[in-house]
């Protein structure tokens, strides 16, 4: 095996290692409790990582045993996969760029509104058919039931760093809002009613006697039934989108690092492949001359 093929084999092994953080990011996304309820985030990253691993393995075999056709297929397939990875990254950044979060005075957690997220994310999650399945899954996940075990007093709860799904909604501005604006500005929270409703705190998932039940359309959607809570609220949908956005932004860091490493490995592998072809032509020419 020539020097260039040795280099190509090492580079393909490096590309194989680059697939590990991609697969890991996909598994991490799929394992998150809220993402278990959303099938669209489970497989794309994992499938792409597995394909990169398989193609890198094929390239390693081709370089080690000097199969030029297999190396050519590897270079073409890896170029396609790198382009797909870059497209996925650009798309993920585009749909997760809008941030529906708000800082709330006196609260450790942020609150969210539906209008603050991209329309693509909203359509995938909040459509009637999708939300019916997601809502059932969230209700069965006990994501809210854990709050009662963790926070015993109102001060502990209001100063807690809650997830977007658990967090309470941001009160609307003091001016009167129409029903449509209330829907657009419904903030996050599956586990408690909107703050603007004025519900009295009993425990994190039990609230009574709303002082202002017409302040938000979600005020009427709240239920002390532990299987219902605010899972039918627009605020719950916004909370889920907040979680999705946060998790995808974290996963994108690993994908960016892997993409940069793959591009460098691919460029060097292309150069090594050309050198290997040159070495092979020179060897054949020399043998023919002799």
Question: Residue 43 contacts by C-beta under 8 Å, 6 or more apart in sequence?
Answer: 26, 30
Are residues 49 and 114 part of one domain?
no
> Residue 43 falls within a domain, yes or no?
yes
Cβ pair 111, 169 in contact under 8 A: yes
Are residues 224 and 270 part of one domain?
no
Cα–Cα distance for residue pair 51/47, rounded to 1 Å? 6
Cβ pair 100, 119 in contact under 8 A: no
Of 80-84, 97-101, 238-242, 271-275, give the lowest mean pLDDT range.
271-275
- Whose structure tokens read 């390239």? 59
pLDDT (0 to 100) of residue 274: 72
Are residues 135 and 85 part of one domain?
no
Cβ pair 238, 113 in contact under 8 A: yes
> Residue 172 falls within a domain, yes or no?
no
Which range scores top for mean pLDDT: 53-62, 105-114, 122-131? 53-62
What mean pLDDT comes out for the span 250-262?
A: 90
Are residues 2 and 48 part of one domain?
yes
Q: Is the pLDDT of residue 90 over 80?
A: yes
> Residue 121 falls within a domain, yes or no?
yes
Are residues 188 and 152 part of one domain?
yes
The closest of 220, 212, 214, 219 to 168, measured between CA atoms, is 219
For the chain, the first-to-last Cα distance in angstroms comes to 21
Question: Whole-prediction pTM value?
Answer: 0.74
Cα–Cα distance for residue pair 2/214, rounded to 1 Å? 77
- Can you list the pairs that 259-265 forms with residues at least 24 positions away whose Cβ atoms lie under 8 Å? 259/82, 259/85, 259/86, 259/89, 261/14, 261/18, 262/15, 262/18, 262/52, 262/78, 262/82, 262/85, 263/82, 265/11, 265/12, 265/14, 265/15, 265/18
Q: Is the pLDDT of residue 277 over 50?
A: yes
> Residue 253 falls within a domain, yes or no?
yes
> Residue 187 falls within a domain, yes or no?
yes
Are residues 158 and 114 part of one domain?
yes
113: helix, strand or coil = strand
List the domain range (segments joined by +) for residue 45.
1-98+247-288
């Amino acid at each position: 095996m020539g020097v260039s093929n040795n280099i190509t084999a090492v580079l393909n092994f490096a590309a194989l290692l680059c697939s590990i953080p991609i697969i890991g990011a996909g598994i991490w996304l799929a394992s998150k409790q809220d993402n278990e309820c959303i099938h669209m985030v489970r497989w794309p990253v994992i499938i792409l990582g597995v394909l990169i691993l398989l193609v890198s393995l094929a390239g390693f075999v081709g370089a080690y045993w000097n199969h030029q056709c297999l190396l050519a297929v590897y270079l073409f397939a890896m170029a396609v996969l790198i382009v797909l990875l870059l497209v996925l990254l650009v798309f993920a950044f585009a749909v997760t760029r809008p941030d529906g979060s708000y800082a709330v005075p006196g609260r450790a957690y942020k609150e969210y509104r539906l209008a603050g997220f991209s329309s693509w994310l909203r359509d995938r999650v909040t459509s009637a058919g999708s939300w019916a399945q997601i809502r059932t899954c969230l209700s069965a996940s006990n994501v809210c039931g854990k709050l009662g075990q963790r926070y015993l007093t109102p001060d502990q709860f209001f100063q807690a760093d809650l997830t977007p799904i658990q967090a309470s909604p941001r009160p609307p501005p003091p001016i009167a809002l129409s029903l449509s604006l209330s829907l657009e500005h419904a903030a996050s929270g599956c586990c408690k009613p909107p703050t603007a409703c004025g519900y009295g705190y009993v425990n994190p998932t039990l609230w009574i006697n709303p002082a202002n039940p017409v302040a938000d359309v979600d005020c009427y959607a709240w239920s002390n039934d532990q299987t219902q809570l605010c899972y039918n609220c627009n605020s719950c949908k916004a909370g889920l989108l907040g979680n999705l956005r946060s998790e995808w932004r974290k996963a994108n860091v690993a994908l960016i690092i892997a993409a940069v490493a793959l591009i460098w490995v691919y460029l060097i592998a292309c150069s090594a492949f050309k050198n290997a072809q040159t070495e092979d032509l020179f060897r054949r020419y020399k043998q023919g001359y002799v």
